Structure 1
Amino acid sequence: MSTHFTAWLTTDPNLLDQDGMHIAVLEDEERAGLWGCKGDPEIVSAVLSVPAEDGDHGEAQGEAIDLLAAAGWATVSDWDAVESGYAATVERDGSGTTQIFEGMTGRNISTYDLLDETMTTYGLDKETAHEAIAAFLASLVDDDPALILERTPVRPELLEANPTSVDIDHWLTVSNETADHIREALAAVFEPVA
């Protein structure tokens, strides 16, 4: 079964609870040969810095494209004007995977796209956002350890001198689908910032 996703850029201030325009990605479903919005949950949800009241729509589209790219999505159509603002067809980017940092407790947390996205979307500090992502990932992995596609040391050269060391930070590679499950779990717990 094919999947189809649409990015919805809301520019109408009467439809927003905050000053900034809003971008969201929703999955579509096929009805009578046409794609239509399936509804919640939003796979990506973020408030833009461009104000809805008299903000530049072209600037908002550019910022939305950048935010989507950071979340692993590419726009594959032009923006079409709709009642609420604009809509564009989007697809997951070509890599098909997402990296998540796994570090020893008490160490600095390396930045990664899903972390930045979570901090921006929900107004969380770095540690809280990372702990939430890590907890949701651990819950998913408990059910299916194969969800971790690859576990790569952040500094592989440290293993050359001490190959049995467990005191090494790693990058975990998961599918974009797994990352979307984490996004859905985050959306069920946290409120997007206004």
Structure 2
Amino acid sequence: MTTRISTRAQGGTIHRYELLGRVEELGLTSGAAHAAIHDRLDELVSVDGEEDVILARTPIHPTLETSNSPHGGRCHWLVVSDTTAKTILDAITARLEPDRGDL
């Protein structure tokens, strides 16, 4: 299976996605959760390469891709494996709860 992550929004709305909600449940705001997800995603891409981490990139608003809007479909869904999504979530959880130990 796969998981979608929206691209970083440049001062705009953060599009909702499942992993974002799961990270917010750890006590982060949507902006902080989205940034943390992308920080971990960037780390994975730097180690494994974008072609091995990001399986697909599709426009969130495909109809805007061809419009003349100044905000044209610049936001995309990044498709990653569920394993990658779990790695991201686990890394964020470990960073937020460094003293929880192995329960």
Structure 1 gap ranges (5+):
1-95
Q: Does 1:136 align with 2:45?
A: no
Is the Cα contact below 8 Å between 2:66 and 2:72 reproduced in 1? no
Whole-Å Cα distance in 2 between the matches of residues 166 and 157 of structure 1? 9
Whole-Å Cα distance in 2 between the matches of residues 177 and 118 of structure 1? 16
Is the Cα contact below 8 Å between 1:103 and 1:168 reproduced in 2? no
TM superposition outliers: structure 1 runs of 4+ over 4 Å: none
Structure 2 gap ranges (5+):
98-103
Whole-Å Cα distance in 1 between the matches of residues 11 and 2 of structure 2? 27
181 and 156 in structure 1: CA distance in 2 versus 1, 3 angstrom threshold: same
Aligned residues: 94
What pairs up with 1:1-194 in 2 under 5 angstroms? 96-120=1-25, 122-143=26-47, 144-146=49-51, 147-161=53-67, 168-191=74-97
Residues 160-189 of structure 1: per-residue CA shift (max 9 Å, x gap): 235xx8761011000001111101211221
Whole-Å Cα distance in 2 between the matches of residues 188 and 170 of structure 1? 28
Q: Which secondary structure does the structure 2 equivalent of 1:109 belong to?
A: coil
Residues 4-63 of structure 1: per-residue CA shift (max 9 Å, x gap): xxxxxxxxxxxxxxxxxxxxxxxxxxxxxxxxxxxxxxxxxxxxxxxxxxxxxxxxxxxx
Determine which structure has the larger strand proportion and give its number.
1
The answer to which structure, 1 or 2, has the higher relative contact order (CA under 8 A, 6+ apart) is 2
Give the residue type in structure 2 aligned to 1:148: I
Whole-Å Cα distance in 2 between the matches of residues 129 and 149 of structure 1? 22
TM-score (norm 1): 0.45
Larger radius of gyration, structure 1 or 2?
Answer: 1
Is the Cα contact below 8 Å between 1:152 and 1:170 reproduced in 2? yes
Deviation at 1:158, TM superposition (A): 1.3
TM-score (norm 2): 0.82
